[in-house]
Amino acid sequence: MGRKRKINEDNMKDIAKDYAKGDMRILDICNKYGIGESTWYDNLDPENERYNAEFAEIIKKADQKRMQNLGDLAELGMKKLLTGYEYEETTTVIDPNAKGNNQNKIKEVKRTKKQVKPDKTMIMFVATNRMPRKWKHRSQIGITNADDTPLKVLDVSPEDLKDLDASSLRGLFEDG
């Protein structure tokens, strides 16, 4: 009888739960359970002699949950960037001349509320991806006739402009 496997029935479900949460890297999970990262991958590789079919199946199911959780975390992060948020910053001022333990050296603790404004780039990203018909990137081109009367440019996207030649450009304009 050989040594006990690092990934076994006792810890397999706990490992899968930590993995499914999506807030830990595989390396961190391995460190938490005393598993080498190579052990993790060896247990998931069907061509490896250390392959563990039960673990592979549990991790496969946990991976679906992990992707859902990561998507939820991304949406929360996007929400914060869209709406802005507040946080508290704490600064501790130490008196270098004070004697004794560290508590006696604290001269002052400052707490400041900080506000982060909504991120314009995230607003544009969400608007153009969630409502593409309303928020599609558009180009406006100002062009005049030979007699300097302006022509109005019809609605054209940058993608449309790439495929146009001079003769087809005439159809985009109407006399001003």
Residue 8 confidence class, pLDDT cut points 50, 70, 90: confident
pLDDT in tens, 28-44: 999 999 999 999 999 99
Residue 176 confidence class, pLDDT cut points 50, 70, 90: very low
Please state the domain extents for the chain. Answer: 12-83, 85-116, 121-175
- Strands of 143-144's sheet in order across: 143-144, 150-153, 173-175
Q: Residue 70, CB half-sphere, CA atoms under 13 Å: how many?
A: 12
Q: What is the reported pTM?
A: 0.49
Q: Which amino acid is at 25?
A: R
The DSSP H or E segment spanning 35 is none
pLDDT in tens, 90-111: 998 888 777 766 666 778 889 9
CA distance 176 to 173: 9
